[in-house]
Structure 1
């Protein structure tokens, strides 16, 4: 049996046994490791204060990759079983957490999942109440189709080569001019085009982090981002966000304890809450980032749906410590897959190098289509209509959900989403995932709180897309049946 050496709370050396890991067993290696360590901790085999093996020691002892160990330790941190100390390692924190069983850790074959194809494909017959896109008619189909047809008239000379590494120059010039007029001074060479916002997040993580680095995220926050951070071997640490913004006491504690490399934040119309940071909170966040020397990645994809004058970290900071990510998936169509990164002149070259290494250039045809759409005269009127439709849909959604006893967990300031639920705490039989699985069988795609949170939810709630939830009798009938 392989052994690694660790130490208990008194400093005495302990032999760390090899865990029993069954690679043929259903469920991930991470699930098995988390369940096994939780049992050891709760059974007092590992006492509070015991130092865990290093990531490399644990990986070597148990024949798994360091990425698997990083994700396992990350989950144990979020469960409250372990704590981390910069430069010292991981330590057992408490013994009073219920150990997750293998059955609890594994979704069934009909279980809803944050990365389920049905939530992104748009071809499912299920009602996409939890989806992140709007009905095509809300975007202005004529404007988009005209832009796509125009883009297809690309000159024959442009069919050679891969296109400009930074992205279609005319679109970058347009973005830089628009941002300079409305938010902050920006040059075209400070704009890097991407395959949407998630691609932008991936490039930033590849460029600025390494496995084992701490990355701060909002809790609740964007579900795909949590998975992406773990995929890169980083440790995601959640900072609670609620009705009134970020929990700055928690932010200060975590920043001091973990020395994060960067933090992702939605300044306006946060996903999934729909809230926005005040000017004062944004200034305070910049101060914390300066004090503890970490980057701020501003997820700004909902900016065009927000009110003019709302806080902008990039505008306050001038792209010194802030990296701004934008996208057109919420105002045009997610099918076009065009996003952007705005960053300092010193950071853009390295991001560009990683972009070329990871996948060369982005689609010039898509970028041309976006340019023709956003530079056309009807675009601003289309955005105004879209905001008005969302405002009406949001109010109707809140009214309809109230009929089945559901209330918003935060009053949204605008945008596409209302996150609402029941006040009763979740149970094994009645929680977000269980209800979402039942909804899926009934032909309804729900997005439960578990998709968006690192902490265990204190109540049962879901993110609702107001375009689909506002006037849907089938949804209300299902929720009423669940609540009865």
Structure 2
């Protein structure tokens, strides 16, 4: 909070707060700053202090004044360069990305993982708290490898292009449990699930190609595809699956080459695909000759019997993508894809051109965790803990006037707050909380009263008390 006992004046503190949000893209290019009167009321300062702070932002080239309209974040590459003293240490993670057509705030959720707003639980984050993922078996798996000749063998040479053979065998057996038929040589390991999605996009698409993506959907996926120059065709996501009528119209009008889907525990709604909807999606794919990427990032939290397109299709037009950052070890950066044999050559070439190979040491350690049943037991424990957190969060959200747009399931809740969540997000930042506003999950970022909450981090009663006060 702004304080009069600080070594900085109130004006300097307020200007610094807005400057930091602009540089880390919590305030996107083109965003309107609060009016002088509104900002003064929110911050508990005089209008004169706000005017002086906005003047400082103008002098730094971070905002522009528009006559009769207010102050706006400048939308230019020059405006996004950080003003710093000579010799200052630059934290590149806090620097903004280059200006483009990408929804600018998509990166703020990622940056929030590295630069926490405070030590408070962050309901807008997309990951489990670190203490939820602590285990003894992961260090054990690494000690087993580092105490043997395997450390030398795996460290002093490049790994196999497809990925560690032991891990691919383990993954092949694991996929059998969800009825996805993938031989070890149909699996390519990657540096996380997002890398797997990127490999597929770069292999199958070219700039300007139309891609169908579920909406609401993962903000990072919208940003990633737009940065590659793809044309996003948003498909409304329903409780039983994508809007098939909209998909059919896109197919007739645009001949898309790819459909990106989260069938199970969809982010942010928590919806899961029905068998009937899955069957009709595959019919469309066969009729109009497009591939489907099924992102199963939350497979560890879902029941094994959940409907998956890859299981019904048998990896003919489908490509399966998943990873372990959400459930096990974010910094191990292990993901994978399973694909039809005819696509493997192109996908592998894209991987080799980008990363050569992937770290075999961590992949071999993960294979041991899977083979010993440690990962399965670990996921079981987290699911039980998440069930309790979800129940507590739902009660708190309902008691503070929110409603759930979809049945609470998995890690995320899709909540209607009744107010503009873009504006609410900025006010909650002042209290030390990072939210995920509903506009972030749409390709063109329309205003929204919805927000996505993380059940693991939104069970804090203090957050909801602050939320109720700030929302008004």
- Aligned match of 2:166: 170
- Aligned match of 1:89: none
Q: Given that residues 29 and 73 in structure 2 are in contact (C-alpha distance below 8 angstroms), is that contact kept between their aligned partners in structure 1? A: no
- Aligned match of 2:429: 440
How far apart, CA to CA, are the structure 2 residues paired with 1:459 and 1:105?
23
- Aligned match of 2:453: 464
Give the superposition deviation at 1:451.
Answer: 1.6
How far apart, CA to CA, are the structure 2 residues paired with 1:101 and 1:309?
54
- Aligned match of 2:132: 138
- Work out whether 1:342 is the aligned partner of 2:338: yes
Q: Structure 1 residues 293, 105: CA separation in 2 closer, same or farther (over 3 Å shift)?
A: farther
- Aligned match of 2:118: 125
Alignment match of 1:410 (pick from 406, 416, 420): 406
- Work out whether 1:211 is the aligned partner of 2:207: yes
Give the superposition deviation at 1:279.
Answer: 0.8
Q: Structure 1 residues 278, 268: CA separation in 2 closer, same or farther (over 3 Å shift)?
A: same
Give the superposition deviation at 1:334.
Answer: 1.5
- Aligned match of 1:113: 105
Give the superposition deviation at 1:276.
Answer: 0.3
How far apart, CA to CA, are the structure 1 residues paired with 2:316 and 2:373?
33
Q: After superposition, give the CA deviation of every residue in 1:263-302 in whole Å (9 maximum; x if it has no partner).
A: 1000100011111011111111111111211110000111
- Aligned match of 1:257: 253
Q: After superposition, give the CA deviation of every residue in 1:382-403 in whole Å (9 maximum; x if it has no partner).
A: 2212111112211211111111
How far apart, CA to CA, are the structure 2 residues paired with 1:105 and 1:291?
46
How far apart, CA to CA, are the structure 1 residues paired with 2:160 and 2:397?
48
- Work out whether 1:483 is the aligned partner of 2:471: yes
Q: Aligned pair count?
A: 383
Give the superposition deviation at 1:421.
Answer: 2.0
- Work out whether 1:103 is the aligned partner of 2:98: no
Q: After superposition, give the CA deviation of every residue in 1:222-274 in whole Å (9 maximum; x if it has no partner).
A: 11111110111111111011334322111111221111110100010001111
How far apart, CA to CA, are the structure 2 residues paired with 1:185 and 1:192?
14
TM-score, normalised via structure 2 length: 0.75
Alignment match of 1:305 (pick from 301, 306, 315): 301
Aligned runs of 1:307-456 on 2, under 5 Å? 307-412=303-408, 414-423=409-418, 431-456=420-445
Q: Given that residues 425 and 436 in structure 2 are in contact (C-alpha distance below 8 angstroms), is that contact kept between their aligned partners in structure 1? A: yes
- Aligned match of 1:474: 462
Q: Structure 1 residues 441, 458: CA separation in 2 closer, same or farther (over 3 Å shift)?
A: closer
Q: Given that residues 223 and 452 in structure 1 are in contact (C-alpha distance below 8 angstroms), is that contact kept between their aligned partners in structure 2? A: yes
Q: Secondary structure at the match of 1:269?
A: coil
Judge which range, 150-159 or 346-355, deviates more.
150-159
- Work out whether 1:148 is the aligned partner of 2:142: yes
Q: Given that residues 151 and 366 in structure 1 are in contact (C-alpha distance below 8 angstroms), is that contact kept between their aligned partners in structure 2? A: no
How far apart, CA to CA, are the structure 2 residues paired with 1:102 and 1:254?
39
Q: Structure 1 residues 394, 149: CA separation in 2 closer, same or farther (over 3 Å shift)?
A: same
Give the superposition deviation at 1:199.
Answer: 0.4
Q: Secondary structure at the match of 2:226?
A: helix
Q: Secondary structure at the match of 2:294?
A: strand
TM-score, normalised via structure 1 length: 0.74
Q: After superposition, give the CA deviation of every residue in 1:98-132 in whole Å (9 maximum; x if it has no partner).
A: xx999378599999932125422275534321112
Q: Structure 1 residues 290, 464: CA separation in 2 closer, same or farther (over 3 Å shift)?
A: same
Q: Secondary structure at the match of 2:212?
A: strand
Q: Structure 1 residues 286, 458: CA separation in 2 closer, same or farther (over 3 Å shift)?
A: farther
Q: After superposition, give the CA deviation of every residue in 1:123-144 in whole Å (9 maximum; x if it has no partner).
A: 5534321112112332242223
How far apart, CA to CA, are the structure 2 residues paired with 1:326 and 1:456?
27
How far apart, CA to CA, are the structure 1 residues paired with 2:401 and 2:348?
50
Q: After superposition, give the CA deviation of every residue in 1:340-363 in whole Å (9 maximum; x if it has no partner).
A: 010011111111111111121111
How far apart, CA to CA, are the structure 1 residues paired with 2:374 and 2:189?
23
Gaps of 5+ in 1: 1-25, 33-99, 425-430
Give the superposition deviation at 1:187.
Answer: 0.7
Q: Secondary structure at the match of 2:118?
A: coil
Q: Structure 1 residues 181, 405: CA separation in 2 closer, same or farther (over 3 Å shift)?
A: closer
- Aligned match of 1:157: 153
Q: Secondary structure at the match of 2:214?
A: strand
Q: After superposition, give the CA deviation of every residue in 1:306-364 in whole Å (9 maximum; x if it has no partner).
A: 11211011111111100000111122122211000100111111111111111211111
Q: Structure 1 residues 115, 455: CA separation in 2 closer, same or farther (over 3 Å shift)?
A: closer
